[in-house]
């Protein structure tokens, strides 16, 4: 795989903009995605199946969209023992971490009223599991287990079928182990549209989450007024900040691991050590090309390392070396931070308990890793104990806004509560 050593500029925003321009932007597929969504809304199952035949099965007539329950169970029974054990541990770890974020109702007493802060899960959710270069049973775990931890009653999975018309059996087995309530053979923007608006076969859901290519993520963005979404989650990116003297081999492997996600993936390593960057370049260039873009960035000092990481807002951020690791508490825009040479991103992708459905493309500036928050609504419950205090204070403000009946509505409660 090709790599290139570049110097970080004085302005981190300019450096990041140049790096982001190395990969396609979502705008490049926006029109095509809009066309697919419109077709699915107009023609339902027929459009989804037509796009499946065109993009996924290579012209072979697709199988029915819904996977029978017995086929999902059978796939789980046929999993190799080592794979089943790995999925089991991942399910346990991701579930434990997800449940820790569920908040109980809490009540705050304010002047004249009582406000209860409540949460409730959405009724239904869908987890998009990518296909293409490889199956992703780990994504099944990340999405389904987190949704169930949030209390969602109905959690379905969709994944694009292969040329034989079937979803990878390991993905199907993971759906059973993670306790998904349904599975659909569909992928791409057409799957997102079907899940958002519904078809004869596909029941619309309240929330859609999961990683995917630009078409999938742009489709999620375009339907986000209809359903909840997690974030812009794909293609992948990684930034490694490493001190001089760090072992180049595991760093190179981490870069190559993320590069396995293929086209649109951006992998970066930054260091003040030119020697380390040259060692990384030599190791990386021995590997086969995956279509990912790799840049090795020479820094002046640790302050520049912090500025670059904050501005780039990477999906994955690795900190390697005692001084670099001290930056961890000050870094606030990464999707997930891996601290120390032992904490490679692959652990987070599979088994560490953190979620691998993460904000990409710099959206970590405002978006978060997938958690129970994506599947739970927060709302308030209000009880007014002293309407006289609140109404007499707020009525002038309502009138200042020109809303006379707002004022009268509050003042009416004063009369209702005056002594007879």
Tell me which residues are annotated as active site: 315-316
Question: What does the alpha-carbon distance between residue 223 and residue 33 come to, in Å, rounded to a whole number?
Answer: 10
Distance of CA 269 to the CA centre of its chain: 23
Q: How many Cα atoms sit within 13 Å of 28 on the Cβ side?
A: 7
SS3 165: coil
Closest CA to 391 of 373, 375, 407: 407
Question: What does the alpha-carbon distance between residue 39 and residue 48 come to, in Å, rounded to a whole number?
Answer: 9
Give, rounded to a whole angstrom, the gap between the first and last alpha carbons of the chain: 85
SS3 208: strand
Other CB atoms closer than 10 Å to residue 83's CB: what's the count? 14
Phi and psi for 241 in degrees, rounded to 5?
A: -105, 120
Question: What does the alpha-carbon distance between residue 312 and residue 323 come to, in Å, rounded to a whole number?
Answer: 20
Question: Angle at the Cα of 324 (from 322 to 329), degrees rounded to 5?
Answer: 105
Other CB atoms closer than 10 Å to residue 204's CB: what's the count? 15
- Are 284 and 257 spatial neighbours (Cβ–Cβ below 8 Å)? no
């Amino acid at each position: 795989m090709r790599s290139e050593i570049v110097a970080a500029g004085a302005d981190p925003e300019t450096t990041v903009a140049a790096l982001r321009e190395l990969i396609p932007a979502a705008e490049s597929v926006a029109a095509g995605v809009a066309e697919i969504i419109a077709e699915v809304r107009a023609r339902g199952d027929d459009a989804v199946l037509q796009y499946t035949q065109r993009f996924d099965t290579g012209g072979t007539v697709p199988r029915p969209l819904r996977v029978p329950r017995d086929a999902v169970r059978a796939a789980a029974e046929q999993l190799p023992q080592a794979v089943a054990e790995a999925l089991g541990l991942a399910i346990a770890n991701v579930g434990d971490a997800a449940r820790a974020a569920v908040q109980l109702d809490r009540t705050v007493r304010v002047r004249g009223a009582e406000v209860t802060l409540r949460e409730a899960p959405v009724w239904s959710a869908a987890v998009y599991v990518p296909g293409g270069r490889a199956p992703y049973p780990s994504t099944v775990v990340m999405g389904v287990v987190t949704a169930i931890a949030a209390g969602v009653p109905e959690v379905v999975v969709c994944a694009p079928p292969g040329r034989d018309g079937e979803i990878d059996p390991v993905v199907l087995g993971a759906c059973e182990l993670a306790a998904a309530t349904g599975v659909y053979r569909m992928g791409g923007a057409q799957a997102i549209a079907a899940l958002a608006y519904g078809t004869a076969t596909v029941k619309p859901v309240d929330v859609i989450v999961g990683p995917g290519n630009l078409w999938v993520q742009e489709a999620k963005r375009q339907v986000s007024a209809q359903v909840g979404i997690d974030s812009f989650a794909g293609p992948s990116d990684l930034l490694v900040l490493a001190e001089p003297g760090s072992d180049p081999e595991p760093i190179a492997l981490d870069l190559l691991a993320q590069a396995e996600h293929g086209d649109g993936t951006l992998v970066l390593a930054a260091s003040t050590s030119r020697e380390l960057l040259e060692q990384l370049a030599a190791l990386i260039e021995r590997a086969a090309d995956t279509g990912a873009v790799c840049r090795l960035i020479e820094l002046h000092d640790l302050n520049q390392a912090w500025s670059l990481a904050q501005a780039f807002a990477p999906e994955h951020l690795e900190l390697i070396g005692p001084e670099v690791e001290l930056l961890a508490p000050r870094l606030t825009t990464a999707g997930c931070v891996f601290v120390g040479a032992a904490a490679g991103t692959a652990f987070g992708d599979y088994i560490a308990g953190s979620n691998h459905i993460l904000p990409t493309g710099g959206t970590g500036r405002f978006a978060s890793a997938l958690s129970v928050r994506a599947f739970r609504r927060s709302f308030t419950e209000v009880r007014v104990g002293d309407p006289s205090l609140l109404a007499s204070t707020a009525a002038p403000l309502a009138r200042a806004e020109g809303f006379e009946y707002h004022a009268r509505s509050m003042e009416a409660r004063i009369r209702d509560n005056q002594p007879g």
